Homo-oligomer: A and B are copies of this chain.
Amino acid sequence: MFMPNWESSLNEKNADAGADRRTHLRDRLIDIAQETVAAQGLAGLKARDLAAAAGCALGAIYTAFHDLDELVLRVNARTLARLEAALDAAFVDAEAEQALEAMARAYLSFARKDEPSWRALFEHRLPPGAPVPAWYADARNRLFSRLDAPLAQLLPGRDAMARAALARTLFSAVHGVVALGLEEKIAETPPKLLDEQLGVLIRLLAAGLMMESARLI
């Protein structure tokens, strides 16, 4: 049968075995892959280099993961967690518009600071037909929910469903500006201009939201 059943199996089960000795192979591989992706991007992650850096055989990788894709998802999950933390740290409990702007700027800042890792979130594609693991989809969706509180403050009348959709839309809009702004394939946006345009976007959206909220009252 071989039900893979990652998601939450080996991490805790064998935590005892690696307590004093070297950490578990699986975790070590994720650590090294994370550093590699952070330094050289997704394209820099090679099975043989990874095995050499981990001090294990090439085939050992495939005893810990079914794929390199699975390893990449694991690395991306960590990146998502750091991104979540960065957004949470930027969250100011003040005015809603300020909170939205702070989170947008935190997103841009994270993308700049950890650009290769951040890029890997969107560059990576799993083979066609392969289902996205639920734990990964959850991690992605948690990102959007960070916008929920400011939106609830701005639009108290909306139900949770509509707020979630709006949160996703606003997040996507900010992501688009950051993603195309950092893309060198287009004429590079000067950093100062990108900062400014992100502020413009937030101001426009916030103005629209306030108008929307006024219409509902």
Residue positions of A touching B, CB distance < 8 A = 43, 123, 125-126, 132, 136-137, 140-141, 165-166, 168-169, 171-177, 179-181, 184-187, 189, 193, 196-197, 200-201, 203-209, 211-212
Contact = CB atoms under 8 A, between A and B. Distances in A.
A200 B140 contact: no
A105 to B, nearest CB: 15
B176 A137 contact: no
Nearest to A166: B200
Given A126-B185, A176-B172, A180-B175, A207 B212 contact: yes
A208 B199 CA distance: 12
A200 B169 contact: yes
A71 to B, nearest CB: 16
Contacts of A205: 204-205, 208
Interface of A is mostly: helix
A176 B207 CA distance: 20
Contacts of A204: 204-205, 208-209, 212
Nearest to A208: B204
Nearest to A180: B172
Nearest to A187: B137
A39 to B, nearest CB: 12
Nearest to A183: B122
A125 B120 CA distance: 12
Contacts of A173: 173-174, 176-177, 201
B165 A193 contact: yes
Contacts of A168: 180, 189, 197
B207 A211 contact: yes
